[in-house]
Amino acid sequence: MTSQIQLGEILIRVVRKEIKNVHLSVYPPDGRVHISAPDHMGLDKIRIFAISKLGWIKQQQKKIRTQERETQREFVDRESHYLWGDRYLLVNVPSTEPARVEIKHRQLLLFTQPESAHEKRESIIASWYREQVRSIAAEYVQKWEPVIKVRVEQIFIQKMRTKWGGCRPDRGHIRLNTELAKKPKECLEYIVVHEMVHLLEPHHNKHFTQYMDRLMPHWRLIREELNRAPLAHENWMY
């Protein structure tokens, strides 16, 4: 069931479904507000909750609207691209062999057929980023499984518009954003641990926070760094 709440200039989309707790989110790029609430919760109570969080909502909207954004990529020579927080200059290398990407010194070498279209170059690099995340994430999962005492049955890597990660506790699945390949590796590790902890505790409650504090005491600093980094055109906060 979907409805709306208007608080001054702020329009809040409300979705009621079979959940136990209220979830409030503010999404880039324009700071739209979304509340997920239990299906038995009345709209008046949801409005009171939203009013109590109005200061936080405005703070998040301001942060999103003023945050630095990446420029649109054209995949031309000497364009900046990032891998694990480091900057590389793109070099297009004409090749009749299968397309591939290599890192050499401070350059990102993109081997493609001569006159490859922009969309083709973009697709190749996107696939390469997915494999980078998949490879390193698998190492982190192996590292943390015996510590957290959970088992990850499957890892999905994809481009996501509003989240760095997600999970399905009932299936042991975690989902990671391809864009994490551009951030420092500690950011990827934080998201992996975050989602693995959700396999134990699905909600962002005090139990979840206690798990994170014990496992990764500096997780808040990493979260700040991740959300302070330049946003892509499909923007998100975590």
**pLDDT (tens digit per residue) in 192-224:** 999 999 999 988 888 999 999 999 999 999 988
The pLDDT, as a whole number, for residue 229 is 57
Residue found by looking up tokens 């975590």 in the block: 238
pLDDT digits (tens, 9 = 90+) for 73-82: 788 999 999 9
Q: Are residue 126 and residue 187 in the same domain, yes or no? A: yes
Shared domain check, 39 and 145:
no
Among candidate residues 28, 43, 66, the one where a domain is terminated = 66
Same domain, 10 and 124: no
Do 84 and 61 lie in one domain? The reply is: no
Could you report how far apart the first and last alpha carbons of the chain are, in Å?
Answer: 25
Does residue 160 lie within any of the structural domains? Answer: yes
Which residues span the domain enclosing 50?
2-66
Q: Which residue has the tokens 């994170």?
A: 212
Does some domain include residue 104?
yes
Q: With 60 as the cut, is the pLDDT of residue 238 above it?
A: no
Q: Per the domain annotation, does 190 fall within a domain?
A: yes
Q: Is the C-alpha dihedral spanning 143, 189, 156, 108 positive or negative? A: negative
Q: Is residue 235 in some structural domain?
A: no
Q: Is there a single domain that holds both residue 217 and residue 170?
A: yes
| One domain, residues 155 and 129 | yes
183 half-sphere exposure, CB direction, 13 A CA radius: 24
Peptide bond just before 29 cis, omega within 30 deg: yes
| pLDDT over 90 at 227, yes or no | no
Could you tell me if residue 133 is inside a domain?
Answer: yes
pLDDT (0 to 100) of residue 60: 83
Per-residue pLDDT tens for 147-158?
A: 999 999 999 999
Say if residue 61 is in the same domain as residue 135. no
**218 found inside a domain:** yes
The pTM of the full predicted model, rounded to 2 decimals, is: 0.73
Provide mean pLDDT across the span 128-134. Answer: 97
Per-residue pLDDT at 233: 40
The answer to whether the Cα torsion of 82, 180, 57, 1 is positive or negative is positive
Q: Is residue 124 part of a domain?
A: yes
Kindly state whether residues 100 and 131 are assigned to the same domain: yes
CB atoms under 10 Å from CB of 210, counted, come to 12
Per-residue pLDDT tens digits for 31-71: 889 999 998 999 999 999 999 999 999 988 887 776 655 66
Please give the tally of structural domains in the chain: 2
The count of C-alpha atoms lying within 13 angstroms of the C-alpha of 36, restricted to the half-sphere facing its C-beta, is 9
Nearest to 85 by CA among 197, 209, 186, 224: 186
Residue 237 lies in a domain: no
- Do residue 60 and residue 85 come from a single domain? no
